[in-house]
Structure 1
């Protein structure tokens, strides 16, 4: 019997839990109200007289079982409802706990803000008190200074300031005068260095270059005796030092080039003791050579002259090179001759001529053979010009 009651209780508990998840039940549930507020109606049992007498104990037992079953069912429903209400109450408690925590936080923040406001007020009060103390101190100092400074002190102080001002101004004036003097001297030195300078002639040495303002060492051109020399000047050394000036060489400087190449196109056997004329010029730069066979030096310097020719087949040929200067009439420089039977002969010379000196070739004997093959050639060239004349 006890096992049967336990099984029924477990089954009812399961049904009750299942029903609690599906529909709500309150303490006013009709079923609960019915079992706890309405008396139980027991079923009428028909029992014979003999049974009443002999089986009274058995009837009582059946009645107790039925009453116990109803009571257990009511308790199951009651327990189920209590469990559901406990769940709801727990959820409400959790929610209430959360709200209480939020309220506690807000109260804490309010407390902190009130503390900050209190602190700020205290700081402001301290600052105002400090300011008032400083103000009082300043007023006291002003009163003390007013009592200390007298009219005599003011006069004396003013006098000292005037004296200091005057002495300082005079000192500044002197300093400015010195500065102005220094600036003027620097201007003069700068103008002297940058101004054009001349020694009245072309520089002939590193010493002359230094005198006209050169300060940086290097290669320079100076006038030699008759040429333009290339020298190295070391201005870090003294003039008397051996390394102050070093000759590198000279420049082949010409005011104008002088070259000529004259030829003949036919034989010449006429006019003995007369200049040999030329009728063809390959080159006549400087126009120093003319067709009548006279060369006039356009500038002083060193000249090179070369002549070559061919004698006739039946006569010898003798040619002489002559020069004329300002102090001496035509004079012989050299001769060349060729034997008969068309013999080649030539003449070369290097002369130093002054400007205006003349050169010519004279036919002294025989004849010069020539035609379109141009066997006769007379060449002249200025090798080196005398810049200083």
Structure 2
């Protein structure tokens, strides 16, 4: 019975709340609120003492009739609105009263019955279950609200932490960007230096004109830029020249020849001697001792074969036999000319010394010999006979 009364009370409360929501609120009407709370402001009028003592009808007519008409019209509208709202409210009250009476009758019927039928019990059970579910839902909503609050607090805390981390990361990123910019600048500088070195290396790279340089102009073409002494090929020699690369090619001071360079691909010189007299006329004087024979150009047979082209110096000296006039001739044989005389030397009848010198420009393969044309040559262990030859200047072929 107690549960039944609670259910009916809940139903009445819900109905009353719904009815109150449907009733119009007259006092919140904007028009009524304005005219109810705002008093009528009549225009002020200064009136003299004589006019106050005069006709009151005349005083009343001094007010603005138009303003009074507007004010009366507004009150009429207000009263009409109030009457309409009152009628609506009265109808709602009558309907509510009828509903309440109906509920009272049902309560009376329930009181008369000591027990509920099965349908009522089921309805009550459903209502109780609904109430329990509502309570659980309210509890769940409360927990959800608390959880939401905690989540919001955690979110706010996490957001603040993330903001701090973001600021820290941003500062680190800016530092890294500065470092990157510094490295980029340094790299650009290194790259510029590398390009400059590359250009310099390209300018100083190995190059060739396809032949030996013959002038300062050729040296400049193959990359020489600093002035100084250089060796260049002459017609048949190596010339030493001074190149002034600060001047133009057509300038007289661009190239100055200093002289020739004593260049030999290999040395050639010999020293031949005899140890006994020689008396066979019209024959080549042989030698039985070669003290030097660098280049292997001299033979003990007395024939010298030129190993390389160039300028050579030959010197011969000896002593003639007593009571005999000795005559020795130096001869040359080339590729085009058979043995020809270069010069002769004579010795007196009293062991006089005679000598012969020659400075020759020879080609490779040319031959030199000494011929005894007359008399006899004296010689023994004292080695009076000496034949010397030497390459002075080699002819360098381009």
TM-score scaled by length of structure 2: 0.50
Structure-2 separation of matches of 1:286 and 1:339: 35
Query: Which among 268, 272, 279 is matched to residue 258 of structure 1?
Result: 268
Query: Which among 283, 286, 291 is matched to residue 300 of structure 2?
Result: 291
Supply the RMSD in Å over aligned alpha carbons. Answer: 2.2
Query: Which among 205, 211, 220 is matched to residue 215 of structure 2?
Result: 205
Change (3 A) 1:184 1:269: same
Structure 1, unmatched stretches of 5+, are 1-181
**1:372 is paired with a residue of what secondary structure?**
coil
**1:216 is paired with a residue of what secondary structure?**
coil
Structure-1 separation of matches of 2:325 and 2:204: 72
What is the deviation of 1:186?
7.1
Structure-2 separation of matches of 1:186 and 1:263: 67
Task: Check if 1:278 corresponds to 2:321.
Answer: no
Task: Check if 1:311 corresponds to 2:320.
Answer: yes
What is the deviation of 1:184?
12
| 1:329 paired residue number | 338
What is the deviation of 1:307?
0.6
Structure-2 separation of matches of 1:265 and 1:185: 75
**2:338 is paired with a residue of what secondary structure?**
coil
| 1:222 paired residue number | 232
Structure-2 separation of matches of 1:296 and 1:347: 19
| 2:371 paired residue number | 362
What is the deviation of 1:322?
0.1
Structure-1 separation of matches of 2:395 and 2:273: 29
Does the CA contact (< 8 Å) of 2:306 and 2:367 recur in 1?
yes
Q: Deviations over 1:230-278 (max 9, x none)?
A: 11111111100111111112211111111111110000012x2211000
| 1:377 paired residue number | 386
Structure-1 separation of matches of 2:193 and 2:230: 34
User: What count of residue pairs does the alignment treat as equivalent?
Assistant: 208
Task: Check if 1:237 corresponds to 2:226.
Answer: no
What is the deviation of 1:192?
3.9
Structure 2, unmatched stretches of 5+, are 1-191
**2:218 is paired with a residue of what secondary structure?**
helix
Structure-2 separation of matches of 1:218 and 1:303: 32
Change (3 A) 1:184 1:374: closer
